[in-house]
Amino acid sequence: MSLSWKIFFSTLIITILTFSLGGYILISSSFQAALDREIIAAQEENKMLRYSFQSAVTTMVTGSSGGLEAIAESIISYSAGDKLKIRIWDENNRVIRQSGEVNFGAGLLGKITDDTRVHTVVEQEGAYFVQTVSIANAQRSRVYLESFHDITPIFTDRQNQFGIYRKLLLVLVALNGILIYAVSFWTAYPIRKLSRATRKIAQGRYNNRVEVHTSDELGMLADDFNNMAESLEIKIGDLEAAATRQRDFVGSFAHEAKTPLTSIIGYADMLRSRQMEEEDRMLAADYIFSEGKRLEALSLKLLELIVLQNRDFLMKKVSMEQLFASINGIIYPILKNTGISFTYKAQDTMIRIETDLMKTLILNLIDNARKSIAAEGLIHLEGVRISEDKYTIAVEDNGRGIPESEISRITEAFYMVDKSRSRAKGGAGLGLAICHEIVELHGGTMSFASVIDQGTKVILELKG
């Protein structure tokens, strides 16, 4: 269904609903006001009947036979008519007198108590009445005065009003339909031009523009559309590049899981392949457990840090000596049998860090140092407090080094100094980019010093 027809039908339906609801509310409000007036009139009639009955009872001779019947007959003959029917009951729920044929039920009697008056609206054979009941004292007994006030005319008037309004509504809907169709067709014409231009752009014709010579919202929409088309080609290129980076990221996200998994596999291999002292076996199991838990937490933290750009992490004070010792245990099975020696030295102090992310940062730097060493070599980790609020961590190796021209780019995501060697060892160019994110999270800095064929030193300067 085209937009012009949608506008036509939706506007027409809204018009019908609005007119119908408005007419219904207006007629119903008028009817309710009339009904309320009739109920008040019915209650006043019943009140007068009760007053008349009480007055007649006071003049009745005590114990006289037929007194109540005579009073009831007198009141009915005087007050009843075409618009008012009366029925009088004794306290044993027997009808004393009634006017004409009164076939209404007696259920309202059970709802009344002394000094109260109850009413309801009842319908009988197409006629409507306000049924009202009150209690009157008759010497040592009491009677129920029941009146039926005819309100059929207001229901008839309501029905007639609805009939007239339905005819009027049909005329209004027909006239509005003609006007709405013309307006909807005229309104949708510029949108159809926009639609044709959109289809052309969807086919790759990004230089297509739409001409709408109006100064209203549709003219503004056309201008915005043309501005969008001008930048769309650039945006498409940016989105394609971003999509490529995201695909590369998803394919390489396992990079950060490699170190804890390697450590877990190494310690698990020790447990299954050699006899170990109880203390060493417990230590290996502890590393497997702790690295498994760290890997579980790390996956969520890296997701928040890199993808969601979350910077609200809980920082805790941690002993640097204990942190370095833990890293030494993690890196041991990775460097075992590689010919690379690992040493560490920590000036023990407490600094505020996010432990899992800081371990990831340092392990990344150690892993990069390992990859830069062709055969035998040395990696040294050292932590030194240089002031009351600054602590430096240095990772130094004697590997192949980094060309000076590459140092400024090595923290870019997916950038690799030696692409052939890094890819051969499973690299994805993500490590230092993640390191850079973690350093910024801790409000620190990361710097590099490197000499070709002599080695590289990475220095982290952290607050704390």
pTM higher than 0.85: no
Q: In angstroms, rounded to a whole number, what is the distance separating the alpha carbons of residues 234 and 329?
A: 50
Write down which residue in 159, 186, 219 finishes a domain: 159
Q: Do 13 and 155 fall within a single domain? A: yes
Residue 181 located in a structural domain: no
Residue 266 located in a structural domain: no
Q: Do 51 and 117 fall within a single domain? A: yes
Residue 303 located in a structural domain: no
Write down which residue in 234, 252, 270 finishes a domain: 252
Residue 108 CB partners (closer than 8 Å, separation 6+): 118, 119, 120, 131, 133, 146
Residue 304 located in a structural domain: no
Identify the pLDDT of residue 411. Answer: 63
Q: In angstroms, rounded to a whole number, what is the distance separating the alpha carbons of residues 287 and 264?
A: 7
* SS3 call for 308: coil
Residue 372: other Cβ atoms inside 10 A: 22
Residue 402 located in a structural domain: yes
Residue 56 located in a structural domain: yes
Write down which residue in 121, 144, 159 finishes a domain: 159
Identify the pLDDT of residue 423. Answer: 36
Q: Do 233 and 319 fall within a single domain? A: no
Q: Do 323 and 431 fall within a single domain? A: yes
Strands 340-346 and 377-387: parallel
Exposure b/e, 297-326, CB count within 10 A at least 16 = b: ebeebbeebbeeeeeebebeebebbebbeb
Contact status, residue 97 vs residue 88, Cβ threshold 8 Å: yes
pLDDT of 264-283, one tens digit each? 777 787 787 777 787 777 88
Residue type, 410: I
Q: What angle do CA 408, 410, 415 make, to 5 degrees?
A: 125
* Cα pseudo-dihedral 112, 116, 120, 122, rounded to 10: 60
pLDDT under 70 in the chain at which residues? 1-3, 61-66, 206, 212, 237, 241-259, 297-310, 411-431
Residue 387: other Cβ atoms inside 10 A: 7
Q: Do 149 and 8 fall within a single domain? A: yes
Q: Where residue 384 sits, what CATH number does that domain have?
A: 3.30.565.10
- According to DSSP, the residues that pair with 170 across neighbouring strands are none
Q: Do 328 and 458 fall within a single domain? A: yes
Q: Which DSSP string do the residues of 26-71 spell out, in sequence order?
A: HHHHHHHHHHHHHHHHHHHHHHHHHHHHHHHHHTSPTT-TTHHHHH
Residue 242 located in a structural domain: yes
Among 244, 255, 327, which Cα is nearest to 291's?
Answer: 327
Q: In angstroms, rounded to a whole number, what is the distance separating the alpha carbons of residues 303 and 358?
A: 15
- Element holding 138 (H helix, E strand): strand 127-138
Identify the pLDDT of residue 344. Answer: 92
Q: Where residue 86 sits, what CATH number does that domain have?
A: 3.30.450.20
Q: Do 244 and 357 fall within a single domain? A: no
* SS3 call for 17: helix
Identify the pLDDT of residue 391. Answer: 92
Q: In angstroms, rounded to a whole number, what is the distance separating the alpha carbons of residues 419 and 421?
A: 6
CB-side neighbour CA atoms (13 Å) of 459: 11
Among 137, 136, 140, which Cα is nearest to 63's?
Answer: 140
> Of all residues in the chain, what percent are helix, strand and coil, respectively (each to 5)?
55, 20, 25
Residue 247 is part of which domain span?
A: 206-252
Identify the pLDDT of residue 160. Answer: 93
| Number of domains the chain is built from | 3
Q: Do 152 and 14 fall within a single domain? A: yes
Q: Do 321 and 222 fall within a single domain? A: no
Q: What angle do CA 424, 255, 243 make, to 5 degrees?
A: 95
Q: Do 151 and 226 fall within a single domain? A: no
Residue 305 located in a structural domain: no
Q: Do 220 and 147 fall within a single domain? A: no
Q: In angstroms, rounded to a whole number, what is the distance separating the alpha carbons of residues 182 and 165?
A: 26
Q: Do 154 and 213 fall within a single domain? A: no
Identify the pLDDT of residue 251. Answer: 47
